[in-house]
Amino acid sequence: MQTVLQNQLDPSAPPRAVLLYRASTKKQTDTDNDIPLQRNMLVPWAERQGWQIIDQFCEGGVSGFKVSADNRDALVKIKAMAERREFDVLGLYMSDRLGRLASETPLVVAFLNRMGVRVMSFSEGEIANQSHNDSLTCFIKFWQAEGESRKTQRRVQDATLDCVKRGVWRGGNPPYGYKMVSRGRLNGKGKPIRDIDIDPEEAEVVKTIFRLYAVEHYGSYGIAKYLNDRGITRAKGGPWMGQKILKLLRDKMYLGHYELYKQDKTKDSVLSLVMEHMVIIDQKTFDEAQKRLRESGEKYAKGRRPTQFGSLIFNGMVFCTECGRKFTTHRYSYETLDADGKPQRNNYCKYRCNSFRIPSRKKSTCTSSQYKADDIEEQVVMLSKKFIRQVDKDQILATHKNDIQVRLETVQSLLQKEERELAKKDKEIAKLKDEIMKSLMGEGTFAPDIIQGMLATKEGERAGYGCKDRAADHP
């Protein structure tokens, strides 16, 4: 705070600068997660400008295209510092280091400008978004940056698809049952290319899992308990869990296929040709497991409902005091004889911590056993009635009316904001149409195809606001 006041009182004080470095992948950083190429350029440049460097932020392995500004820790801190008026200049290597989203990054620039912060690029000079013309130029800059990211994304996707079709391992940790090996292949830089091969010990565990599920009809949690009880751990030493078992059972890698998009439900998966040296599970056993998985899923969808919709009152709302896990509910049936000696079936319900079925490395299995559902529900209902009797009903009604008023004012404020944004979009569209006419007459600054693309984007945004308006009119 003292530094802020000194800078405001002394106009001759050097501008305070914050430097931001960003690289999209970890491969572009050094062992300390630093980006020395950008740092070595920006620090001397800032000193030549006469700026006082008060802080530096480094984002290694953070995509400016896939990660929103709200989810980038460095930008969140920088915006908070700007609100507190702690610096005057934000220094970047290039404008796209700030972000590559045409719908978002210009707004970040506008926010910093409103806070009195100049955004300066080592390669491009000042980046501003204050006037109407600045908004257009700024949007074009980041629209082009987003387009380059989309082209790069497409090239990577095509290369990945080609690798899968040719049966080339794309890198990363192999599935359980396989291990990394080197067969002497080198990449363009002379570094070894890792392949994968079957791990004999883990492959036997995989065969056991498929046998227990497909042949002996164990459940996923039962298989996890079977393995954990025998001291068999996952690849990284952790305990087995039901979801990990289900994921393993669905993996077509064990048939000798590389599979692409197996976790993306919006795309059809792509399989490589069968690689005989990678086969662990035969087709018949795999098909039996998939059949059981489908039947189990259909049974769950038809008859079994999520825990919060169970038959007990507090299903999904009771937690273990020892391990913090959610209690599950269990129903047991047993027979007794009535006064006439006839058998009758009785139901016994209870809440129970499920840690013994889903173990964790971080939390040991708790010692809590089980609690009768009647005991818990009776206590909660009794306390709830006591609370309701003590509630001040007039105060609740008054608070409710105040909440309605606050919500009404909020909705009105949002509607006014939407109207302002709509008017702004209309002005921008008109401006772009003027630019198209100038370009056709040879007087424009930008090529017509660029302006056409921007116009289509803005008209799409304008149409989106129209949908919001219709949704508001017809709730």
Higher model confidence: residue 453 or residue 238? 238
pLDDT band per the 50, 70, 90 thresholds, residue 474:
very low
SS (H, E, C) the chain: CHHHHHHHHCCCCCCEEEEEEEECCHHHCCCCCCCHHHHHHHHHHHHHCCCEEEEEEEEECCCCCCCCHHHCHHHHHHHHHHHCCCCCEEEECCHHHCCCCCCCHHHHHHHHHHCCCEEEECCCEEECCCCHHHHHHHHHHHHHHHHHHHHHHHHHHHHHHHHHHCCCCCCCCCCCCEEEEEEEEECCCCCEEEEEEECHHHHHHHHHHHHHHHHCCCCHHHHHHHHHHCCCCCCCCCCCCHHHHHHHHHCHHHHCCCEECCCCCCCCCEECCCCHHHCCCCHHHHHHHHHHHHHHHHHHHHCCCCHHHCCCCCCCCCECCCCCCEEEEEEEEEEEECCCCCEEEEEEEEEEECCCCCCCCCCCCCCCCEEEHHHHHHHHHHHHHHHHHHCCHHHHHHHHHHHHHHHHHHHHHHHHHHHHHHHHHHHHHHHHHHHHHHHHCCCCCCCHHHHHHHHHHHHHHHHHHHHHHHHHHCC
pLDDT at 5: 43
Higher model confidence: residue 187 or residue 415? 415
Higher model confidence: residue 475 or residue 312? 312
Higher model confidence: residue 303 or residue 169? 169
In percent, the amount of the chain with pLDDT more than 70 equals 85
How do the domains of the chain map onto residue ranges?
2-153, 178-302, 308-390, 432-475
CATH architecture of the domain covering 178-302: Alpha-Beta Complex (3.90)
In percent, the amount of the chain with pLDDT more than 90 equals 28
pLDDT at 305: 47
pLDDT at 301: 53
pLDDT band per the 50, 70, 90 thresholds, residue 424:
confident
pLDDT at 2: 44
pLDDT at 470: 46
Contact 278, 256 (CB under 8 A): yes
Q: What are phi and psi of 88, to 5 degrees?
A: -115, -25
pLDDT at 135: 85
CA distance 457 to 103: 10
Higher model confidence: residue 2 or residue 398? 398
Among 354-368, 398-412, 457-471, which range has the highest average pLDDT?
A: 398-412
Q: Span 278-303, mean pLDDT?
A: 82
pLDDT at 227: 93
pLDDT at 309: 47
Task: Supply the mean pLDDT for the chain.
Answer: 81
Q: Span 21-35, mean pLDDT?
A: 80
pLDDT at 471: 46
Among 179-188, 348-357, 407-416, which range has the highest average pLDDT?
A: 407-416
Q: Span 227-236, mean pLDDT?
A: 89
Does residue 93 have a pLDDT over 80?
yes
Does residue 436 have a pLDDT over 60?
yes
Tens-place pLDDT, residues 160-211:
777 777 777 777 788 999 998 887 777 767 777 778 889 999 999 999 999 9
Higher model confidence: residue 10 or residue 206? 206
Higher model confidence: residue 298 or residue 149? 149
Does residue 448 have a pLDDT over 80?
no
pLDDT at 368: 60
Q: Span 428-445, mean pLDDT?
A: 74
Higher model confidence: residue 11 or residue 394? 394
Q: Span 444-456, mean pLDDT?
A: 71
pLDDT band per the 50, 70, 90 thresholds, residue 315:
confident
Q: Considering only 114-128, 137-151, 324-338, 416-430, which range has the smallest mean pLDDT?
A: 324-338
Q: Span 416-432, mean pLDDT?
A: 83
CATH architecture of the domain covering 2-153: 3-Layer(aba) Sandwich (3.40)
pLDDT at 264: 66
pLDDT at 318: 79
How far is CA 249 from each of CA 262, 295, 366, 422, rounded to the nearest angstrom?
Answer: 13, 14, 29, 51
Contact 122, 154 (CB under 8 A): no
pLDDT band per the 50, 70, 90 thresholds, residue 465:
low
In whole angstroms, how large is the CA radius of gyration of the chain? Answer: 31
Q: Span 320-339, mean pLDDT?
A: 75
Higher model confidence: residue 234 or residue 329? 234
Higher model confidence: residue 10 or residue 88? 88
Q: Span 432-460, mean pLDDT?
A: 73
pLDDT at 30: 75
CA distance 10 to 311: 70
